[in-house]
Structure 1
């Protein structure tokens, strides 16, 4: 029987965990330049959190199924800068075990990696049995930023499109499921998000010189995206486009769709009984020196 005090502390712990989402929500509202909430805003907010928690609960079931069955899952997130990929990934992974579901966000290749087979540095991040890997940008860098910024030659670009269907087919034949998402936003929406980042000191780190240059080359990125979707959309690993102008809808829609693509089911677990603590009459707890206690400023 749980005492009232422990029940209160248990509920407080749950509320504290939910506050993480509330903090994110407030951050998003500030980023979007929105002020006070209207009644409609509050209703949408409640719906958003209700669905977010429900879908995150289903993702936990998916995780259990992946671990139990040894399934291997790769989810690729591509899109323009500020399209909302990172926010979606954050909500997907928020309640999952990082030992099961991890994010691969590779930096620009170093001098050694530039001389390797193009896909080599990505292969090391592929999942083993019972793992999920979310690629925050992926080998499709060559079809996007490298093409637009002239970081690859025409020959390397064409070789990529000759190789990528075969590469992904090989991964699928080996038992890896690949799901590819493109987060789509409008010209106006990207401008608003970039301007908001410029004005927000907590978000300015997200803006790099490459991001600013990508803004100037919007049309070139559009052409590169269209070619990419056309030339690498294969039955074994098709592309899925997420309408991402509304970030919250995009997150929910992406999570819902991801769950629909995996044939998971709830795994039954044995009941958990918390064992009684062992007390030793000879044990005496030693005092902690005050010099190493973190000051309680708050």
Structure 2
């Protein structure tokens, strides 16, 4: 990854790094031997950094095994070993692969306030820069501001928007967007959706209906559903993801606001507990600040 973004990633993960890596370094600097007490301290650091209990225990178990297998007895050598364990958790996915199978429809789901509309704008901008032809569907007809916000982003990214009136049927918007995408030979159609988790039945019906429209009208397109989670919510984000997964299939996660939180460890937790890859991470307000997730870069920046 080019230097500029890696530096940004490092900057964006500063709070998380303070809550994980610096504390781990302190513990290891004071440690004389690698023993159970040391492992317990490391586990506690991981849990308090929002990696979650289950994932933290798993990491420490793997770490113990690696340290034993490699006959490591110097506390200073624990960090490289820990990095390997974390990369291993994050790495087993085919990131960025699906984008090449065109045409493609990406459904963006998530509760309100997590940065859904902003993420759509930024993804559109990224794809446009990579010379893909992009179209956006404003299928969150529930919130008037969502349509207006998308219009602003479409102007910034220089992408067309298909919209209806507030309160209209989201599936009808998607239907029109699909017809437009086919007529204009669009590569990627991005669909915004309403983010109402408290009314799960409605949301389920709505997403199912949208899915049916896409399958029926645009069977040649690859369909992908990405869930937007706000990193500042930490483990609550994992719970949110579980609820959405009961509603519809989720192919990947967009994790926003990583730069504003010490809970960046939730990336590891999401992958381990839900087995869904993190596809994009947001580390700033700028239009370039949503980037394709790279596990090695993430772990390097974290440490």
Q: What TM-score comes out, normalization by structure 2 length?
A: 0.38
Q: What TM-score comes out, normalization by structure 1 length?
A: 0.39
Which structure has the bigger radius of gyration? 1
